[in-house]
A and B are shown apart, each in its own frame.
Chain A
């Protein structure tokens, strides 16, 4: 029986060849097999968004994807954002706007907003809330998270316009 599958997956630019159990979801694979614990696990049923990562550029909940389905894919996790000790501009915006308290939800928001920022559009606060609705935060009340993402989207759009 094919209960184990060999996969080749690129995670944050690094190619991994791994044997995974068919029933293992992508979040457990990243955390337990690759030791990338920045991707958090809350509900394991698709509701909280803590486990959001980018697969081929798209924000998805990694508890709702099998590790086996990552074969051939390009994965980005929160570990891809900071370079050495330098925060990426989105992370810096979260810091500047006080967009986190306990920080458990932060990887989910950062990855969802990373995909959003790549679209290069400026969005209104309501639209930002819509786009972030798949990640829950129990601490901040969301306002500061929306502030941070709004500023980051504005800065990204401006930088693009300046060429």
Chain B
């Protein structure tokens, strides 16, 4: 469990970090909270030539800002900060609620939102929150910046569309829907999820639901949105039949893995049950 040798680079500014990533020609890795990277290095699942430690960049990357209807969360914002932030609690209650399902106290003291997204764990809670909250991920290189919608960010198992010399700098959240729900089934609390489901929607005129989004974790090689299911619910009032139909449609995006945590059949069994449950809870109107 000892990492192979690498060079340690500690930039003092984001520009220096971008330069270091470019200089290493895609062979360097960003070190944020280290809660996924250091275990991977210890197991020698990767051998980067250098680690670019961004922990000194909290001034540029560690802030949570309310900008009009938008909330901007810097890449280096730690789980523990999200847990206790009044801005997040007021504007993004789902994000705050979801954080308590991640890891344990020590992991939450170090792990960052940027690291969680770049890690692209198919069961990642942060990824799921960003999908259903319709977040935009901001990535930067020495050449400039680009915006990536969360729905286009995850490229496969533990893979994102980030280029190796690209730094995730922030996550932008639009105004959150009024109603959000989250459920997770794990082998134990604090462990990676077997299945996670998040739903979000707002109530429009005459009780019709708008902006419906349903996110699923742990049921494919990446966290994703069940778009057909959401479309079946959009602009309508919901009764049991609409909800049942949507829960069945959610299965369209499921291609569940068999792994140490659970079999594919069990995961598939859980999906419609919990999608249905969350939608019913939402329809019954309790807010979270």
Q: Could you tell me which A residues sit within 8 Å of B by CB distance?
A: 1-3, 5, 21-23, 25, 43-46, 49, 52, 58-61, 63-66, 68-69, 112, 115-116, 130-134
Contact = CB atoms under 8 A, between A and B. Distances in A.
A104 to B, nearest CB: 17
A64 B109 CA distance: 12
A64 B2 CA distance: 11
25 contacts: A2-B7, A2-B8, A2-B9, A3-B5, A3-B8, A22-B6, A45-B1, A46-B35, A46-B38, A46-B106, A59-B105, A59-B106, A61-B106, A63-B38, A64-B35, A64-B39, A65-B38, A65-B110, A66-B31, A69-B34, A116-B105, A132-B105, A133-B105, A134-B104, A134-B107
B38 A22 contact: no
A22 B7 CA distance: 7
A69 B106 contact: no
Contact of B190 (A25, A60, A134): A134
Interface of B: 1-10, 31, 34-35, 38-39, 41-43, 51, 53, 55, 80, 103-107, 109-110, 189-190
Interface majority SS on A: helix, strand, loop or mixed?
mixed
A117 to B, nearest CB: 13
Interface of B is mostly: mixed
A22 B50 CA distance: 9
B8 A66 contact: yes
B8 A5 contact: yes
Contacts of B53: 66, 68-69
